[in-house]
């Protein structure tokens, strides 16, 4: 079974690369790895409810994990980022294969909300 027909978006895969700077440190660079066909699913109902409620010890600490699917042969690592044509960015927290290998690759991602480039602008 292939999920290729269900992948309804194209995302650009970015990875942070470290290169020595000659002074004992590293330079970070965000580089384009390739284009991926993906499907972004909505977070689960329990996660949405937790994000809306601001009570108890988790107050203000709820994060939503978006399941993102792609083909099983893709190589994606933790902390890679997927940028959608709309500009939305998802950071990969974990990847997993289903019980039947070769079916698909699931990435649990965090949605990175955009910030204004000029703090005073709307």
What's the domain range around 68?
4-19+26-112
Secondary structure string (H, E, C) spanning 21-48: CCCCCEEEEEEEEEEEEEEECCCCHHHH
Residue 90 within a domain: yes
43 belongs to a structural domain: yes
Read off the pLDDT of residues 19-77 as tens digits, 9 standing for 90 and up. Answer: 999 899 999 999 999 999 999 998 765 555 555 555 555 555 556 789 999 999 999 99
- List all residues 6 or more positions away from 39 whose beta carbon is below 8 Å from its beta carbon: 3, 6, 7, 8, 9, 68, 69, 70
Structural domain includes residue 118: no
Q: For position 50, which CATH number holds?
A: 2.40.10.270
Specify the higher pLDDT residue, 102 or 36.
36
Domain count, the chain: 1
pLDDT at residue number 106: 94
Contact between 17 and 11 (Cβ < 8 Å)? no
pTM of the model: 0.78
3-state secondary structure of 56: coil
Average pLDDT, the chain: 84
């Amino acid at each position: 079974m292939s999920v290729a027909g269900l992948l309804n978006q194209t995302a650009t895969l970015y990875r942070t690369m470290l290169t020595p700077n000659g002074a004992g440190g590293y330079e970070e660079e965000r580089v384009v790895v390739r284009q991926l066909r993906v499907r972004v699913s909505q977070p689960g109902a329990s996660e949405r409810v937790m994000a809306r409620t601001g009570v108890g010890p988790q107050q203000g600490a709820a994060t939503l994990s978006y399941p993102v699917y792609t083909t099983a042969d893709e190589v994606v690592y933790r902390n890679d980022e997927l940028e959608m044509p709309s500009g939305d960015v998802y950071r990969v927290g974990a990847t997993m294969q289903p019980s039947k290998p070769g079916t698909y690759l699931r990435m649990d991602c965090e949605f990175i909300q955009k910030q204004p480039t000029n703090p005073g602008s709307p």
